[in-house]
């Protein structure tokens, strides 16, 4: 039986990408709506998903606090109207303060609430709404900060990864060079712009490599010229719609610790070095990376402990002595055994169809 489901999301790619993946999983079985705040719109193909706007302000204690509360109150009224008019039977929230008005409205109307927690630390919004929700979907039973008295609500699902990552061929390199890809994630990574290029140049003097690197507009020309001057094969980009096609050509990735990025690399079986964003809320990027480190599937470097020489030595060790690298690659294969779009789709539908 088709249900009317509203998916609420917004903010960073860490919230929006799982929401879009859920939408694609459910669109053939149910009637869907999706909402976002203004910040999250940059991740949407708006014609495909047609999101409507619930632009929840960030809650902070200041002289503007009464105005923030008043705006949230108005958004709750708007949310009540939407949920009733559209006859929504399930609200799916990917967390964050953006979901606040719709979750409160769903609670008032007695609508089934399903929370999504893509990180290995329970988010603050999800923690607040956990007692009102019917179920919460996570990627592990060992989510940091998850209350034991709500463990009966937790359902485990393979990480939500966009469909195109399942459809692309795995690791079809177009070059014999060891290819290192550097991505910064939705939060950006200035440390990658400032510290890694010289280390990679030093490595290239010992062993031939290719570099694929995401950077900022302001830094793109500098990196292109730098890699040319050092005779390093390279592809430097600011934004790449089909990042999956670049990752399939990668032997190793250097990345932050966003849940979506790590899940995509894991599915593509690309070993990675994670340098988690130290300012991430509740240190969730580090905890995300620790999940894969516990499976001996990645390396983690704390940004505060980053030393160029140590990093150079690690890269040379990975490239020249591949035993450890191959073990991590094999462990990524184990992690993704029977991880198919169809299996995730069936498990997700089964969870949402629970009474």
320 and 205 both lie in a single domain: yes
CB 276, CB 289: distance < 8 Å: yes
Residues in the chain: 355
pLDDT band at 218 (very low <50, low <70, confident <90, very high): confident
Average pLDDT of the chain is: 92
How many separate domains does the chain show? 2
Any alpha helices (H) in 269-307, and if so which ranges? 284-293
For residue 340, give the 3-state DSSP assignment: coil
> Region 208-232: what's the mean pLDDT?
94
224 and 185 both lie in a single domain: yes
123 and 233 both lie in a single domain: no
User: What pTM was computed for the model?
Assistant: 0.92
311 and 178 both lie in a single domain: yes
Query: CB-side exposure of 297: number of CA atoms within 13 Å?
Result: 22
Query: Over 90: is that where the pLDDT of 8 sits?
Result: yes
148 and 180 both lie in a single domain: no
153 and 232 both lie in a single domain: no
Nearest CA to 259 out of 292, 301, 294 is that of 292
127 and 80 both lie in a single domain: yes
How far is Cα 350 from Cα 152, in angstroms, rounded to an integer? 16
- Domain range for 217 is 166-335
pLDDT of residue 239: 85
* Residue 171 zone, left/alpha/beta (φ > 0; ψ -120 to 50; rest): left
pLDDT of residue 185: 52
Non-local (6+) Cβ contacts of 197 within 8 A are 213, 223, 226, 227
The DSSP symbol for 146 reads: -
66 and 147 both lie in a single domain: yes
Query: Over 80: is that where the pLDDT of 62 sits?
Result: no
Task: Return the percent helix, strand and coil in the chain, to nearest 5.
Answer: 50, 15, 35
How far is Cα 161 from Cα 260, in angstroms, rounded to an integer? 7
Residue 134, domain CATH = 3.40.50.2000
pLDDT of residue 279: 86
Please spell the DSSP secondary structure of 14-74, one letter per residue.
Answer: HHHHHHHHHHHHHTTTSEEEEEE-TGGGGG--HHHH--EE--PPPP--STTHHHHHHHHHH
In the block, tokens 């047609």 appear at 50
> Region 12-19: what's the mean pLDDT?
92
128 and 208 both lie in a single domain: no
Please spell the DSSP secondary structure of 66-118, one letter per residue.
Answer: HHHHHHHHHHHHHHHHHHHHTT--EEEE--SGGGHHHHHHHHHHT-EEEEEE-
Query: Over 80: is that where the pLDDT of 338 sits?
Result: yes
- Reported as a single tens digit per residue, the pLDDT across 130-146 is 999 999 999 999 999 99
How far is Cα 185 from Cα 237, in angstroms, rounded to an integer? 13
147 and 192 both lie in a single domain: no
Non-local (6+) Cβ contacts of 193 within 8 A are 215, 216, 219, 223
pLDDT band at 187 (very low <50, low <70, confident <90, very high): very low
pLDDT band at 58 (very low <50, low <70, confident <90, very high): confident
pLDDT band at 186 (very low <50, low <70, confident <90, very high): very low
331 and 346 both lie in a single domain: no
pLDDT of residue 107: 97
> Region 200-207: what's the mean pLDDT?
96
pLDDT band at 174 (very low <50, low <70, confident <90, very high): low
CB 114, CB 106: distance < 8 Å: no
Two structure tokens written together for 114: 């399903």
194 and 182 both lie in a single domain: yes
Query: Over 50: is that where the pLDDT of 349 sits?
Result: yes
**Least confidently predicted of 1-10, 172-181, 211-220:** 172-181
- Reported as a single tens digit per residue, the pLDDT across 152-171 is 999 999 999 999 999 856 54
- Reported as a single tens digit per residue, the pLDDT across 227-252 is 999 999 999 998 888 899 999 999 99
Non-local (6+) Cβ contacts of 89 within 8 A are 3, 4, 5, 111, 112
Query: Over 60: is that where the pLDDT of 175 sits?
Result: no
pLDDT of residue 189: 64
């Amino acid at each position: 039986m088709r249900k009317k489901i509203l998916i609420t999301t917004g903010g960073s790619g860490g919230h929006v990408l799982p929401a879009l993946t859920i939408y694609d999983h459910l669109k053939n079985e149910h009637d869907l709506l999706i909402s976002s705040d203004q910040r999250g719109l940059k991740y949407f193909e708006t014609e495909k998903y047609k999101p409507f706007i619930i632009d929840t302000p960030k809650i902070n204690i200041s002289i503007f606090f009464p105005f923030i509360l008043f705006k949230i109150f108005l958004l709750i009224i708007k949310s009540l109207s939407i949920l009733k008019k559209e006859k929504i039977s399930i609200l799916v929230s990917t967390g964050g303060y953006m979901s606040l008005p719709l979750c409160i409205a769903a609670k008032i109307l007695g609508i089934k609430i399903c929370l999504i927690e893509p990180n290995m630390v329970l988010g603050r919004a999800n923690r607040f709404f956990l007692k009102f929700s019917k179920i919460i979907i996570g990627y592990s039973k060992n989510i940091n900060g998850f209350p034991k008295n709500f463990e009966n609500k937790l359902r485990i699902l393979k990480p939500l990864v966009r469909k195109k990552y399942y459809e692309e061929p795995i690791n079809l390199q177009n070059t014999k060079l060891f290819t290192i890809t550097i991505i910064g994630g939705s939060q950006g990574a200035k440390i990658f712009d400032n510290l890694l290029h010289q280390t990679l140049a030093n490595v290239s003097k010992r062993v031939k490599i290719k570099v694929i690197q995401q950077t900022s507009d302001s830094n793109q020309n500098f990196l292109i010229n730098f890699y040319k001057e050092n005779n390093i094969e390279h592809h430097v980009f600011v934004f790449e719609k089909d990042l999956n096609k670049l990752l399939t050509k990668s032997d190793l990735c250097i990345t932050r610790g966003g849940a979506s990025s790590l899940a995509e690399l894991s599915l593509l079986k690309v070993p990675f070095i994670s340098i988690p964003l130290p300012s991430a809320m509740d240190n969730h990027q580090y905890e995300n990376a620790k999940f894969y480190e516990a499976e001996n599937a990645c390396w983690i470097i704390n940004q505060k402990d980053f030393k160029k020489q140590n990093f150079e030595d690690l890269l040379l060790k990975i490239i020249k002595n591949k035993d450890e690298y191959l073990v991590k690659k094999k462990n990524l294969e184990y992690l993704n055994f029977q991880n198919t779009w169809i299996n995730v789709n069936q498990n997700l539908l089964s969870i949402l169809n629970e009474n």
